[in-house]
Structure 1
Protein backbone atom coordinates (compact mmCIF):
# COMPACT_ATOMS: atom_id res chain seq x y z
CA UNK A 1 0.00 0.00 0.00
CA UNK A 2 1.38 3.38 -0.99
CA UNK A 3 0.97 6.12 1.65
CA UNK A 4 0.70 9.78 0.95
CA UNK A 5 1.61 12.30 3.61
CA UNK A 6 -1.88 13.79 3.86
CA UNK A 7 -3.50 10.43 4.64
CA UNK A 8 -0.79 9.55 7.14
CA UNK A 9 -1.15 12.90 8.91
CA UNK A 10 -4.93 12.49 9.10
CA UNK A 11 -4.60 9.00 10.58
CA UNK A 12 -2.30 10.34 13.29
CA UNK A 13 -4.20 13.55 14.07
CA UNK A 14 -7.80 12.31 13.78
CA UNK A 15 -8.08 10.42 17.13
CA UNK A 16 -6.73 13.42 19.05
CA UNK A 17 -8.95 15.82 17.13
CA UNK A 18 -12.08 13.75 17.73
CA UNK A 19 -11.41 13.72 21.47
CA UNK A 20 -10.61 17.42 21.76
CA UNK A 21 -12.86 19.04 19.17
CA UNK A 22 -16.21 20.27 20.40
CA UNK A 23 -19.29 18.66 18.93
CA UNK A 24 -20.82 20.76 16.18
CA UNK A 25 -24.58 20.83 15.68
CA UNK A 26 -25.53 21.78 12.15
CA UNK A 27 -28.89 22.39 10.51
CA UNK A 28 -30.13 22.23 6.92
CA UNK A 29 -33.50 23.16 5.49
CA UNK A 30 -35.59 21.65 2.71
CA UNK A 31 -37.61 24.45 1.16
CA UNK A 32 -39.86 23.78 -1.84
CA UNK A 33 -41.33 26.46 -4.08
CA UNK A 34 -44.69 26.48 -5.88
CA UNK A 35 -43.18 24.64 -8.88
CA UNK A 36 -41.87 21.81 -6.68
CA UNK A 37 -38.25 22.97 -6.89
CA UNK A 38 -35.90 22.86 -3.91
CA UNK A 39 -33.63 25.68 -2.77
CA UNK A 40 -29.89 25.01 -2.78
CA UNK A 41 -26.93 27.28 -2.05
CA UNK A 42 -23.27 27.14 -3.00
CA UNK A 43 -20.65 28.49 -0.59
CA UNK A 44 -17.64 30.61 -1.50
CA UNK A 45 -15.32 28.27 0.43
CA UNK A 46 -14.49 24.58 0.58
CA UNK A 47 -15.41 22.36 -2.32
CA UNK A 48 -18.23 24.66 -3.36
CA UNK A 49 -20.85 21.91 -3.51
CA UNK A 50 -24.51 22.75 -3.93
CA UNK A 51 -26.11 22.06 -0.55
CA UNK A 52 -29.34 22.70 1.30
CA UNK A 53 -29.24 26.08 3.08
CA UNK A 54 -28.26 26.03 6.73
CA UNK A 55 -25.28 26.19 9.02
CA UNK A 56 -24.25 25.87 12.63
CA UNK A 57 -26.10 26.42 15.86
CA UNK A 58 -25.02 29.42 17.95
CA UNK A 59 -24.92 29.36 21.73
CA UNK A 60 -27.90 27.56 23.22
CA UNK A 61 -30.14 27.80 20.15
CA UNK A 62 -32.39 24.87 19.51
CA UNK A 63 -31.81 23.34 16.06
CA UNK A 64 -35.12 24.63 14.65
CA UNK A 65 -34.38 28.20 15.82
CA UNK A 66 -30.88 27.91 14.33
CA UNK A 67 -32.37 26.94 10.97
CA UNK A 68 -34.74 29.92 10.91
CA UNK A 69 -31.77 32.22 11.60
CA UNK A 70 -29.50 30.53 9.05
CA UNK A 71 -32.15 30.67 6.33
CA UNK A 72 -32.54 34.40 6.94
CA UNK A 73 -28.76 34.96 6.91
CA UNK A 74 -27.99 32.81 3.86
CA UNK A 75 -31.02 33.46 1.67
CA UNK A 76 -32.93 36.45 3.02
CA UNK A 77 -36.03 34.31 3.54
CA UNK A 78 -38.22 34.12 6.61
CA UNK A 79 -39.25 30.50 7.11
CA UNK A 80 -41.19 28.33 9.49
CA UNK A 81 -40.03 24.82 10.39
CA UNK A 82 -42.76 22.29 9.60
CA UNK A 83 -41.15 18.94 10.46
CA UNK A 84 -37.94 17.13 11.31
CA UNK A 85 -36.75 15.15 8.29
CA UNK A 86 -33.66 13.60 9.82
CA UNK A 87 -30.88 13.65 12.39
CA UNK A 88 -27.52 12.38 11.20
CA UNK A 89 -23.98 11.94 12.45
CA UNK A 90 -21.51 13.19 9.84
CA UNK A 91 -17.99 11.84 10.21
CA UNK A 92 -15.49 13.45 7.86
CA UNK A 93 -11.70 13.47 8.02
CA UNK A 94 -11.65 15.77 11.03
CA UNK A 95 -15.37 16.15 11.65
CA UNK A 96 -18.00 14.71 13.92
CA UNK A 97 -21.04 16.84 13.36
CA UNK A 98 -24.66 16.19 14.20
CA UNK A 99 -26.83 17.50 11.39
CA UNK A 100 -30.56 18.11 11.71
CA UNK A 101 -32.54 18.31 8.47
CA UNK A 102 -35.86 20.15 8.62
CA UNK A 103 -38.64 20.75 6.15
CA UNK A 104 -39.71 24.37 6.17
CA UNK A 105 -42.02 26.72 4.36
CA UNK A 106 -41.51 30.28 3.24
CA UNK A 107 -43.29 32.97 5.22
CA UNK A 108 -41.83 36.06 3.55
CA UNK A 109 -39.01 37.39 1.42
CA UNK A 110 -37.29 36.76 -1.87
CA UNK A 111 -34.07 34.81 -2.28
CA UNK A 112 -31.00 37.03 -2.15
CA UNK A 113 -27.35 36.28 -1.56
CA UNK A 114 -24.75 38.79 -0.46
CA UNK A 115 -21.78 37.17 -2.21
CA UNK A 116 -19.94 36.83 1.11
CA UNK A 117 -20.42 33.33 2.50
CA UNK A 118 -22.86 32.27 -0.22
CA UNK A 119 -21.76 32.47 -3.86
CA UNK A 120 -25.15 31.70 -5.36
CA UNK A 121 -28.56 30.18 -4.73
CA UNK A 122 -30.69 28.17 -7.10
CA UNK A 123 -33.95 26.27 -7.33
CA UNK A 124 -33.74 22.68 -8.62
CA UNK A 125 -36.30 19.93 -9.17
CA UNK A 126 -35.59 16.93 -6.90
CA UNK A 127 -35.04 14.70 -9.95
CA UNK A 128 -32.73 17.24 -11.64
CA UNK A 129 -30.17 18.07 -8.96
CA UNK A 130 -27.02 19.97 -9.99
CA UNK A 131 -23.89 17.96 -10.79
CA UNK A 132 -21.83 19.20 -7.86
CA UNK A 133 -24.38 18.41 -5.14
CA UNK A 134 -23.06 17.57 -1.66
CA UNK A 135 -22.66 13.78 -1.19
CA UNK A 136 -25.62 12.16 0.54
CA UNK A 137 -28.17 14.87 -0.30
CA UNK A 138 -30.03 12.66 -2.81
CA UNK A 139 -30.55 10.00 -0.12
CA UNK A 140 -31.74 12.60 2.40
CA UNK A 141 -34.23 13.94 -0.16
CA UNK A 142 -35.49 10.42 -0.91
CA UNK A 143 -36.22 9.94 2.80
CA UNK A 144 -38.05 13.30 2.82
CA UNK A 145 -40.10 12.42 -0.29
CA UNK A 146 -41.19 9.15 1.34
CA UNK A 147 -42.42 11.05 4.39
CA UNK A 148 -39.97 9.20 6.63
CA UNK A 149 -37.54 10.45 9.25
CA UNK A 150 -33.89 9.60 8.65
CA UNK A 151 -31.31 8.95 11.34
CA UNK A 152 -27.91 7.37 11.85
CA UNK A 153 -24.79 8.13 9.87
CA UNK A 154 -24.87 10.67 7.05
CA UNK A 155 -25.76 8.79 3.84
CA UNK A 156 -23.07 8.24 1.25
CA UNK A 157 -20.15 8.14 3.70
CA UNK A 158 -17.88 5.10 3.98
Structure 2
Protein backbone atom coordinates (compact mmCIF):
# COMPACT_ATOMS: atom_id res chain seq x y z
CA UNK A 1 0.00 0.00 0.00
CA UNK A 2 1.16 3.52 -0.66
CA UNK A 3 0.07 6.78 0.91
CA UNK A 4 -2.43 8.85 -1.09
CA UNK A 5 -1.61 12.50 -1.76
CA UNK A 6 -3.64 15.47 -2.95
CA UNK A 7 -2.71 14.69 -6.56
CA UNK A 8 -4.48 11.32 -6.13
CA UNK A 9 -7.86 12.96 -5.42
CA UNK A 10 -9.22 12.55 -8.99
CA UNK A 11 -8.48 8.81 -8.76
CA UNK A 12 -10.15 8.56 -5.33
CA UNK A 13 -13.23 10.39 -6.63
CA UNK A 14 -13.46 8.24 -9.76
CA UNK A 15 -13.07 4.96 -7.91
CA UNK A 16 -15.57 5.98 -5.23
CA UNK A 17 -18.12 6.92 -7.91
CA UNK A 18 -17.65 3.61 -9.77
CA UNK A 19 -17.84 1.55 -6.57
CA UNK A 20 -20.87 3.48 -5.31
CA UNK A 21 -22.70 3.03 -8.63
CA UNK A 22 -22.45 -0.75 -8.33
CA UNK A 23 -23.11 -0.92 -4.58
CA UNK A 24 -25.63 1.81 -3.85
CA UNK A 25 -27.71 2.19 -7.02
CA UNK A 26 -30.02 -0.64 -5.87
CA UNK A 27 -30.20 0.82 -2.33
CA UNK A 28 -30.34 4.61 -2.69
CA UNK A 29 -32.21 7.03 -4.89
CA UNK A 30 -30.05 8.71 -7.56
CA UNK A 31 -30.39 12.14 -5.88
CA UNK A 32 -29.18 10.78 -2.53
CA UNK A 33 -26.30 8.92 -4.14
CA UNK A 34 -25.13 12.09 -5.92
CA UNK A 35 -25.60 14.19 -2.78
CA UNK A 36 -23.55 11.79 -0.66
CA UNK A 37 -20.75 11.53 -3.23
CA UNK A 38 -20.55 15.33 -3.27
CA UNK A 39 -20.67 15.50 0.52
CA UNK A 40 -17.97 12.89 1.16
CA UNK A 41 -15.82 13.04 -1.98
CA UNK A 42 -15.48 16.68 -2.96
CA UNK A 43 -11.92 17.81 -3.65
CA UNK A 44 -12.00 20.02 -0.54
CA UNK A 45 -13.19 17.23 1.77
CA UNK A 46 -10.63 14.72 0.51
CA UNK A 47 -7.80 17.28 0.64
CA UNK A 48 -8.71 18.08 4.25
CA UNK A 49 -8.76 14.39 5.15
CA UNK A 50 -5.39 13.74 3.49
CA UNK A 51 -3.75 16.65 5.32
CA UNK A 52 -5.37 16.18 8.74
CA UNK A 53 -4.36 12.74 9.91
CA UNK A 54 -6.77 10.39 8.20
CA UNK A 55 -4.62 7.71 6.63
CA UNK A 56 -5.58 7.09 3.00
CA UNK A 57 -3.70 4.35 1.17
CA UNK A 58 -3.81 3.18 -2.41
CA UNK A 59 -3.43 -0.55 -2.97
CA UNK A 60 -0.86 0.03 -5.70
CA UNK A 61 -0.09 2.19 -8.72
CA UNK A 62 -2.59 0.31 -10.87
CA UNK A 63 -5.77 1.81 -9.42
CA UNK A 64 -7.19 -1.34 -7.88
CA UNK A 65 -8.54 0.29 -4.72
CA UNK A 66 -7.99 2.30 -1.58
CA UNK A 67 -8.61 2.24 2.14
CA UNK A 68 -8.75 5.05 4.67
CA UNK A 69 -8.63 4.80 8.43
CA UNK A 70 -7.87 6.93 11.44
CA UNK A 71 -6.06 6.00 14.63
CA UNK A 72 -7.38 7.32 17.96
CA UNK A 73 -10.80 8.02 16.46
CA UNK A 74 -13.18 8.97 17.96
CA UNK A 75 -11.14 8.47 21.13
CA UNK A 76 -7.76 7.19 22.24
CA UNK A 77 -7.00 3.55 21.39
CA UNK A 78 -9.81 3.24 18.87
CA UNK A 79 -9.25 2.99 15.14
CA UNK A 80 -11.93 3.51 12.51
CA UNK A 81 -11.97 2.44 8.90
CA UNK A 82 -13.72 5.23 7.02
CA UNK A 83 -13.52 3.94 3.45
CA UNK A 84 -12.68 0.71 1.67
CA UNK A 85 -13.22 0.64 -2.08
CA UNK A 86 -12.09 -1.70 -4.78
CA UNK A 87 -12.41 -1.35 -8.51
CA UNK A 88 -15.52 -3.46 -9.19
CA UNK A 89 -13.42 -5.72 -11.46
CA UNK A 90 -11.03 -6.48 -8.58
CA UNK A 91 -13.55 -7.90 -6.12
CA UNK A 92 -13.07 -11.51 -5.06
CA UNK A 93 -9.30 -11.47 -5.56
CA UNK A 94 -8.31 -11.10 -1.90
CA UNK A 95 -7.38 -7.42 -2.10
CA UNK A 96 -10.01 -6.26 0.40
CA UNK A 97 -8.96 -8.93 2.88
CA UNK A 98 -5.30 -7.95 2.49
CA UNK A 99 -6.12 -4.27 3.09
CA UNK A 100 -8.13 -5.11 6.22
CA UNK A 101 -5.33 -7.31 7.52
CA UNK A 102 -2.80 -4.52 6.96
CA UNK A 103 -4.93 -2.10 8.98
CA UNK A 104 -5.42 -4.73 11.70
CA UNK A 105 -1.65 -5.19 11.89
CA UNK A 106 -1.04 -1.44 12.10
CA UNK A 107 -3.69 -1.09 14.81
CA UNK A 108 -2.13 -3.89 16.82
CA UNK A 109 1.34 -2.31 16.54
CA UNK A 110 -0.07 1.02 17.76
CA UNK A 111 -1.86 -0.60 20.71
CA UNK A 112 -5.38 0.14 19.53
CA UNK A 113 -8.03 -1.64 21.58
CA UNK A 114 -10.84 -1.46 19.01
CA UNK A 115 -11.19 -1.32 15.23
CA UNK A 116 -14.55 -0.08 13.99
CA UNK A 117 -16.32 0.64 10.72
CA UNK A 118 -19.81 1.58 9.60
CA UNK A 119 -21.63 -0.24 6.82
CA UNK A 120 -25.05 0.46 5.35
CA UNK A 121 -27.54 -2.11 6.63
CA UNK A 122 -28.44 -3.08 3.06
CA UNK A 123 -24.89 -3.19 1.69
CA UNK A 124 -23.78 -6.70 0.75
CA UNK A 125 -20.27 -5.78 2.01
CA UNK A 126 -21.53 -6.62 5.51
CA UNK A 127 -21.08 -10.30 4.65
CA UNK A 128 -17.47 -9.63 3.57
CA UNK A 129 -16.74 -7.78 6.82
CA UNK A 130 -18.13 -10.68 8.83
CA UNK A 131 -15.94 -13.14 6.89
CA UNK A 132 -12.80 -11.13 7.72
CA UNK A 133 -13.57 -10.92 11.43
CA UNK A 134 -16.01 -8.10 12.13
CA UNK A 135 -19.21 -8.43 14.17
CA UNK A 136 -22.15 -6.05 14.51
CA UNK A 137 -21.70 -3.96 17.63
CA UNK A 138 -24.44 -1.35 17.23
CA UNK A 139 -26.87 0.30 14.84
CA UNK A 140 -26.91 4.01 14.04
CA UNK A 141 -29.06 6.37 12.02
CA UNK A 142 -27.12 9.47 11.00
CA UNK A 143 -28.81 12.58 9.59
CA UNK A 144 -26.67 13.84 6.72
CA UNK A 145 -28.88 16.72 5.62
CA UNK A 146 -31.50 17.35 2.91
CA UNK A 147 -33.76 14.82 4.61
CA UNK A 148 -31.32 11.97 3.96
CA UNK A 149 -30.00 9.54 6.53
CA UNK A 150 -27.36 6.84 6.75
CA UNK A 151 -28.85 3.69 8.29
CA UNK A 152 -25.76 1.75 9.33
CA UNK A 153 -24.40 -1.08 11.38
CA UNK A 154 -21.36 -0.25 13.47
CA UNK A 155 -19.06 -3.24 13.21
CA UNK A 156 -16.06 -4.09 15.41
CA UNK A 157 -13.15 -6.35 14.63
CA UNK A 158 -13.52 -9.21 17.09
CA UNK A 159 -9.90 -10.10 17.74
CA UNK A 160 -7.66 -7.04 17.90
CA UNK A 161 -5.26 -8.37 20.50
CA UNK A 162 -1.62 -7.58 19.71
CA UNK A 163 0.51 -10.48 18.55
CA UNK A 164 2.77 -12.02 21.23
TM-score (norm 2): 0.24
Bigger RCO of structures 1 and 2 (CA < 8 A, at least 6 apart): 1
TM-score (norm 1): 0.25
Query: As a proportion of its length, which structure holds more helix?
Result: 2
